[in-house]
Structure formats: structure tokens, C-alpha cells
Structure 1
Amino acid sequence: MAASPAEKEQPAARTRRDPRARRRAIVRAAADLLVEGGGGDITHRRVAERAGVPLGATTYYFASLDELREAGLQVLVDEIEEFVDYARRISAGVPREPEALARLFHDYFSDRDKMRADLALYGATIHRPELHALALRWFDAMVELLTDWTDPATARLLAAFTDGIGLHVMLRGEPVELDELTRAITALMRSAPGREEDG
């Protein structure tokens, strides 16, 4: 039996009839291109080609390239913040010790896709003050998570440390060793006010 017109319909055709799906495809394409380019500039044409939509669709949904870029970056922030939710879930009931925190971060730093998204986010926002708040959402979420493990000042220090480690991993193209990460996090957490030194 021949396929019906509905069965023959391709995803791109369905997207044309679903404005929200088309917009999501455009934003996803922008996010992917930002990651591939390390946060570098994107164009309406490249996004349209990646999303499989006419060039005019990108300008229909996004009046400017800055608006499109920001929408793509928003996707990256949302995906990076999923790590915070994941870490909070799997660390529920886990003793708040440096070794456990180091393992969480080691898993994160070992995920090159997440590291590339981090780099793209900072690369695209570092010279754009109007987008700094978007990038800082990740930092603030990390601080909030880490205050479950230590005091607020040390949590901010640890969050800044993770920023630096992420950049180091991407620039060197090498994973961070778990034992090195554990030593560093242990030193930072033990420097927290009111925390007694071991030994």
C-alpha cells in the first residue's frame, strides 16, 4: 500500500507548519554553531542552513543577529545548568567531603561537549557587557550548589576555580586528573573559616 501524504511528510515540512518547532530548530542551530566556533560570530545564513529553513525564517523570528546569538547562548546556559541539577540530585545524602565534590567535578570536566559549551558561552559574552548576566547565571548557580558544601565565600572561590579548570582543560586538550583535582578542592575547602585542619 502506498504511503499516505502524512506518512511521506518530512520533519522539515512538519517544522514549516509548526512555528514553535521552527523557532526551536533555529535556536538549536545557533547554539550548535556557537559551540563549534568557540563562541565566535554566527550569521543568519549559516544558522538557516544548519536548521534547514529558509534564510528569511531566521530574520522573521529574530530581528537582529544579536537577538539570535543571545537565544543560542540561552540554550547553552540552560544545558550547562543541568549539571547543577544533576550534581544536586546525585549528591543528596553524600557526606560533604572534598573527595566527593572532586568526583562530581571530574565527571563534568571529562565531558568535552560541556567544556566546549562553557568555552563558547564565555567566548561569546566576554566582550559584550550586555550579555555578562547570561554567562554569570552559570557561575551563580554553581555558587548556590557549592554553598551546600561550604561557606558562601569559599563557594565563590571554588566556583571561580572551576571556571579556570574548565578553560585549562579546553586549552590544553587534556583531562584534569582526579587526584590533582581532589588535592586542590581539599585545600580550598579546608581554608574555609571555622574548618579545622586535619592532622
Structure 2
Amino acid sequence: MARRYDPDRRTRIIDAALAVMAADGIAGLSHRTVAAEADVPLGSTTYHFRSLDELLIAALRRCNETFAQALRGSEVLAAPPATGAAAPGAGLADELTRLLGQWFAGERGAIELEYELYLAALRRPALRPVAAEWTEAAVEVLSRRTDPETARALVALMDGICLQVLLTGGSFDADHTREMLARVADGRG
């Protein structure tokens, strides 16, 4: 029997892993559940991803890219900071708040999955470099508008705000977020 050419199979397996984890969390992830979701033979999942950690790495990279693309695609973040502004961090805080607001306006399950994968690095050392990639990519983009240390503080604050909203079941408070981000961006925080 001839082998079927399927160039998108690896991508479908990653998509299936994300779907399984969105429904059942990381605890529900196995090569078998992913193969069933992707409608591929079990051997395909183990061919493309020898271990569940490899599959989790690919899934986390996919999630990282979503928000990183939003940051890179922002005209405000790509532009140099305005000179002579009374509060130079205000525009940066406004844009970051807008992006977080869009993120929270979507399906909350997607955000929960991204943070579940991000926090899985606490127990799975193989995921740590990929979790760090997200931070470094965000710092790189934000450093176009501010110094690298302030950029790192802004990323930490955004992570903290997102985790608090997710863990408390609260709603995203754009005004509070904007104020806190502006304080850090302007060196008042």
C-alpha cells in the first residue's frame, strides 16, 4: 500500500492537540487522544512528536505566536515613541490595553489554554525555553518604544493582570490596566 502524501499532517496534529487540551486540559493529552482528534493513525503522532513534551512545545510555540503577531502587527508599537509628550508611556499603555482588551473579548478558553501551557513549564523543564521565547519576543517588540528593562516590567505586569483575571474569574478592567501600564511605562510604578 502506497504511503499517502499529507504535507499538513504535522499542523493538523498540533491543531488537534490544542483542541484536546482546550476541552480536557493538559491532563487529557495523549498520543491516542490527539490521533483520534486529528483523524490520523496513532503512529503519525509519534512519528512527528516522539514525546508529549515535543507536542506540548509545538502547541506552546503556536500559542506564543498568536499574541506575538498582534504585538508585531501593531502600528503604535512599531512606531518610535513620540518626542516631547507629557506622558510618553500613555500611547504605549493605551495600545497594550487595547491588545489585551481584544484578547479578553474573544473566547476565554483560548487564553486559559495559553496560560495553562505557559505555566506547565513549572513542572516540565522542556517547556521552559519556549515559555521564555514568549517573554523575549514581547520584550523585543516593546523595546522599540521603551528601554529593555521597562519592556520586561510591562510584560510581567501584563502577565500578572491576565493571570489575576483568569484565576479570579473577574472581568478585564481596561481603565485600571491602562493606568498601571502607564505608571510602569512612565517610570512612576
Q: Shorter-normalised TM-score: what interval? A: 0.7 to 0.9
What residue in structure 2 maps to residue 106 of structure 1? 101
- Please, what TM-score do these two structures have when normalized by structure 2? 0.79
- Structure of higher RCO (CA pairs closer than 8 Å, 6+ residues apart): 2
Q: Percent identity?
A: 35
What residue in structure 2 maps to residue 174 of structure 1? 170
4+ runs of 1 displaced by more than 4 Å?
90-96
What residue in structure 2 maps to residue 29 of structure 1? 16
Q: Distance in 2 between matches of 1:168 and 1:176?
A: 9
Please tell me whether residue 76 in structure 1 is matched to residue 76 in structure 2.
no
Q: Distance in 2 between matches of 1:72 and 1:101?
A: 24
Across the aligned residues of Structure 1 and Structure 2, the Cα RMSD in angstroms comes to 2.6
Give the letter aligned to residue 101 of structure 2.
H
**How many aligned residue pairs are there?**
177
CA drift of 1:39 comes to: 3.8
Cα 1:134–1:19 change in 2 (3 A) is same
Gapped regions of structure 1 (runs ≥ 5) = 1-15, 194-199
CA drift of 1:132 comes to: 0.5
Tell whether the 8 Å contact from 1:125 to 1:135 is kept in structure 2 after alignment. yes
- Please, what TM-score do these two structures have when normalized by structure 1? 0.75
Gapped regions of structure 2 (runs ≥ 5) = 83-87
CA drift of 1:192 comes to: 6.4
What residue in structure 2 maps to residue 154 of structure 1? 150
Cα 1:75–1:172 change in 2 (3 A) is same
Tell whether the 8 Å contact from 1:38 to 1:119 is kept in structure 2 after alignment. no
